Chains A and B, each alone.
Chain A
Amino acid sequence: MNAPLHSGLEHWLSAPDDSPAPDWLLERRRAARARLSARPLPHSKDEAWRYTSLKGLLEQQFTAIDEPLSALQPEDLDTILIPGFDAYRVVLVNGRFAPELSVLGELPAGARVGGLRDWLGHDPESLRGQLDATRGDSETFFALFNTAGLDDGLVVWLARGVMLDRPLELIHLSVGLDEPRVAQPRHLVHLEAGAQATLVERYVSLGESLYCTNAVMEVVLERDAVLKHERLQMESRNAFHLTGFYLVQDENSRYAGVNIGLGARWARTDLNTRFRGEHAECLLQGLYLAGDGQLLDYHLDVEHAVPNCRSEENFKGLLTGQGRAVFDGRVLVSKDAQKSDAAMSNRNLMLSEQAEIDTKPQLEIYADDVKCSHGTTVGQIEPEMLFYLRSRGIDAAQARRMLCLGFAGEIIDRLGDEAMREHVAEAVGQRLA
């Protein structure tokens, strides 16, 4: 009855039968699956996949996870938690909400946080309009896969004016299983008018196992809402990681996102943002470090659909060994989006001759009264700087590391919490050792 899926991906959707899905959701899954079968696989001839091959991913023959992993104890998180980082915490293990590992305590009134699967069990109607609310026409191949396999994830819903008093940490923990598995969590975040929150999303693993994560997050910010969002992709170095992030912003809302990408052997991140109301602001910061055997691929699609909004896209990359990265950023300013202000920048530090970066910032501007800029740099450590440090007794390796951390510091410093900044700086430092 189902049309066959693409070779290499045919086992991504052996979705569990016990999920309490309402009819409308089953129908959406079926529709997504039908569209998938009809769509060709992304190919290097597609502009969005020009530099990134799916070959390695397809070869793995990942299969969907059908059983929740119940054997984990809270102490298994000891190596994962960041000492000194105080937050509400939601833990997903292999894509499945793990209430026994999560710590939500007393959320403020009007704040609802929970697992998607549970939510669908008791209040499915509230999600009907939320699911796929953000995506417009920009639905990617792998986001469709996520919808077709939709099962669990995080839901955050803040009522009008509610402020989360502590950050909400989402730990997406992957644990290697006997065969390579794919998890496809779907996260839904909705901030009603004037609500404020900080969300820290961390992708981590126990051990260096092989698995795939294909996550989608949809975020709706109603007027005057403020979301600070930090994403730390620190997957196993053998993992594959895909993310589709979709944001819509109403009038006067503020979004500030920091993307840190250190892990995975192959990672593809699509960040899509759209202004729906005027005087909104969207800041996207990013730091990636790609070393031997790693490909980190970022695609930004920022749409100024209405006037008077401001966006800033600032991504920095460190490339070592035979690491590869792609930065493909696009800012679209529609005809009516006068007084748009957009600044895109991508700077890269190449630490080896074998590393590769493909960078392509683009502005597409159809309005005539705008302030837009973009810039790219690809450089190396300045010999002057290196000599200065060495002349003070610091050996060459440490001096290089200090300069790289200095370069990365501009982004790391945007993280809101001191413990988090230290955690990331240390992880970057270790990778450069």
Chain B
Amino acid sequence: MLSVKGLRANVGDKEILKGLDLEVGPGEVHAIMGPNGSGKSTLSHVLSGRDGYSVTAGSATFEGRDLLELEPEERAQLGLFLAFQYPVELPGVNNTYFLKAALNSIRKARGESELDAVSFLRLIKEKLKILHLDDSLLKRAVNAGFSGGEKKRNEIFQMALLEPKLAILDETDSGLDIDALRVVAEGVNALRSPERSMIVVTHYQRLLDYIQPDYVHVLARGRIIRSGGKELALELEQKGYGWIDAELAA
């Protein structure tokens, strides 16, 4: 599904990703853990097509397409979804209008017809329930004045609606209290399926108590230095990230 090989990327003159390899198969959940500054967010951003990064070497293939060639909207239309670490507030942009535009863009790209108003509303209400979100959200502007927890739930709600093939959750746990974290994780778990893959990017092991990954990767200094099962997350939790330096020095 996703194949990243030898990926190198710069921000300005500074190299952040230094030859990163990652293979994600259908239905797999991969956790990427790493300390601050290891390149976690850069990886999420490069894969989703945000400006400000230059890829200097390597490749990223998604569903057989060269991901790095595509515009951000084309990646989304192909089935890639990024849940933002800091969801952006869009004052004045109505949530319903936004969701409809997004869903219809993606449906159109898949060769499906646009949803009529009634089916759209029914679908939305169904998905709101998964995230314990209130109808009133639909009348508000996108993320504007939302609490931190509401913003993160709104991300997962969008994911539920857009039904991506691959979701990247960029530090979705940051800034959430334990109750909000549980709701978000339940939402994510409800969306797990044999066809849907996920990359869960996180600093802490805590999120992985709720979203059980199939694979855990440790990202440090722009490369994946270790991969394993979920027990690797526990090892990290016990040892902290300090041992990485020792590892790298060795």
Residues of A within 8 A of B (CB): 382-385, 387-396, 398-399, 402-403, 405-410
Inter-chain contacts of B72 with A (CB < 8 A): 387, 390-391
Whether A406 touches B71, Cβ cut-off 8 Å, given contacts A388-B84, A393-B105, A393-B109, is no
Q: Could you list some 28 contacts between A and B, CB below 8 A?
A: A388-B87, A389-B102, A391-B49, A391-B72, A391-B82, A392-B73, A392-B98, A393-B77, A393-B105, A393-B162, A394-B101, A395-B71, A396-B71, A396-B73, A398-B105, A399-B73, A402-B90, A402-B97, A402-B101, A403-B93, A406-B91, A406-B92, A406-B93, A406-B141, A407-B92, A409-B92, A409-B93, A410-B91
Report the minimum CB–CB distance from B97 to chain A (whole Å): 7
Inter-chain contacts of B102 with A (CB < 8 A): 389, 392-394
Q: Is the CB of B73 within 8 A of A395?
A: yes
| Chain A CB within 8 A of B33 CB | no
Interface string of B58-93 (1 = CB under 8 A from A): 000000000000011101110001101001101111
Q: Which of the listed residues B72, B76, B87 has the most CB atoms from chain A within 10 Å of its own CB?
A: B72
| Chain A CB within 8 A of B202 CB | no
User: CA–CA, A383 to B106, complex, Å?
Assistant: 21
Inter-chain contacts of B141 with A (CB < 8 A): 406
Inter-chain contacts of A405 with B (CB < 8 A): 92-93
Q: Is the CB of A410 within 8 A of B77?
A: no
Inter-chain contacts of B75 with A (CB < 8 A): 391
Question: Which residue on A lies nearest to B87, using beta carbons?
Answer: A388
Whether A389 touches B90, Cβ cut-off 8 Å, given contacts A394-B105, A395-B73, A396-B71, is yes
Residues of B within 8 A of A (CB): 48-51, 71-73, 75-77, 81-82, 84, 87-88, 90-94, 97-98, 101-102, 105-106, 109, 141, 158, 162
Give the 7 A-B CB pairs with smallest separation, nearest first.
A406-B92, A393-B76, A392-B102, A406-B93, A409-B92, A393-B105, A390-B72
Q: Is the CB of A385 within 8 A of B88?
A: yes
Q: Which of the listed residues A384, A403, A410 has the most CB atoms from chain B within 10 Å of its own CB?
A: A384
User: CA–CA, A392 to B158, complex, Å?
Assistant: 9
Inter-chain contacts of B162 with A (CB < 8 A): 392-393
Q: Which of the listed residues A391, A395, A399 has the most CB atoms from chain B within 10 Å of its own CB?
A: A391
Q: Is the CB of B76 within 8 A of A390?
A: yes
A393-B76, A409-B94, A410-B92 given; 18 more Cβ-contact pairs under 8 Å:
A383-B51, A384-B88, A385-B88, A387-B51, A387-B72, A390-B49, A390-B72, A390-B73, A391-B50, A392-B106, A392-B158, A393-B77, A394-B102, A395-B105, A402-B97, A402-B98, A403-B93, A409-B93
Report the minimum CB–CB distance from B196 to chain A (whole Å): 16
Question: Which residue on B lies nearest to A408, using beta carbons?
Answer: B92
Inter-chain contacts of A389 with B (CB < 8 A): 90, 98, 101-102
Question: Which residue on B lies nearest to A410, using beta carbons?
Answer: B92
Inter-chain contacts of B94 with A (CB < 8 A): 409
Whether A393 touches B51, Cβ cut-off 8 Å, given contacts A385-B88, A402-B98, is no
Inter-chain contacts of A409 with B (CB < 8 A): 92-94
Whether A387 touches B101, Cβ cut-off 8 Å, given contacts A406-B91, A406-B92, A406-B93, is no
Q: Is the CB of B73 within 8 A of A393?
A: yes
Inter-chain contacts of B91 with A (CB < 8 A): 406-407, 410
Q: Which of the listed residues B91, B101, B162 has the most CB atoms from chain A within 10 Å of its own CB?
A: B101
User: CA–CA, A398 to B109, complex, Å?
Assistant: 15
